[in-house]
Structure 1
């Protein structure tokens, strides 16, 4: 009975596989939104103010960072929690595949969130004349919370890895 329960529990990891496939659909949506923005603003490029162009570029960078985060979570999560990816020898393989454990993934996700938050904060600062000082203060506080959380997670991970 115990063996049956353990095998059943171990097999349930495959429930995550469709979730990772769903994330690939989210990646497709990000790609579509990226190019929608590019094609929408392309005809207006010569009439845009520089600050508006900077905001557009920051939005595109933000989408790219979120896309990279999705790829990292999809592949690393699948390899860590479902099954090892078996990529044909003739195909290009990402150098970090198989090297990102769940602790490293957690730290990379935290660092990505800080980077994405930094882009959002930069967008707010570029558009600061349209943002109330109270909202600006809260944007900075939230960003610093992300930064401190990522630092604390990295530090705790370093301590626990050092002790093992």
Structure 2
């Protein structure tokens, strides 16, 4: 019976490698976002003389939005891989290794995720307000409601995480 248990635990432990292709897929998603970023950037240059100030600001906010999402993906890929799959031991002495790499736990990762979602939602809300003349009051109200929901969810999660951390 002990042998079956040991084999089962080994299979479960090894199954963490099933996440590796997921992190590779997120890296490929970053490539798609890079194309989206470049398309938006070139579009801004093409419309520089004909676009209004608010249209340019909305375009720049879209670039910031894509950058935040890509930064979030990097954090998720590195932290998730190191927390759930394998340590990146060979990269510890690499001169470009980010200082936070290897130090973000699962709880920190969730806080960074919700913080990024709130920031991205805020940018989308700002873009909506900049483009309010093309939106209905109902659409704007939904955007505000969704943003406030993300904001309060993030605050509540941070409070719960802080309370849970005090018990250790």
Distance 1:90 1:82, change over 3 A: closer
1:116 aligns to 2:112 (yes or no): no
Mark the runs of 5 or more structure 1 residues left unpaired by the alignment.
Answer: none
Partner of 2:9: 6
Q: TM-score, normalised by structure 1?
A: 0.97
Correspondence for 2:25 among 19, 22, 25 = 22
Partner of 1:153: 157
Distance 1:98 1:43 in 2: 42
1:103 aligns to 2:87 (yes or no): no
Correspondence for 2:136 among 129, 132, 136 = 132
Q: CA deviation at 1:40?
A: 2.3
Distance 2:94 2:6 in 1: 39
Runs of 4+ in 1 over 6 A off after TM superposition: none
Residues 53-100 of structure 1 show CA distances to partners (whole Å, capped at 9, x for unaligned) of 001001000000000011010000000100111206243110101110
Deviation larger for 89-98 or 60-69: 89-98
1:84 aligns to 2:87 (yes or no): yes
Distance 1:63 1:89 in 2: 30
Q: CA deviation at 1:41?
A: 2.5
1:73 aligns to 2:88 (yes or no): no
Q: RMSD of the alignment, in Å?
A: 1.0
Number of residue pairs the alignment of both structures matches: 164
Distance 2:88 2:143 in 1: 39
Residue 46 of structure 2 aligns to a residue whose secondary structure is helix
Q: TM-score, normalised by structure 2?
A: 0.95
Partner of 1:32: 35
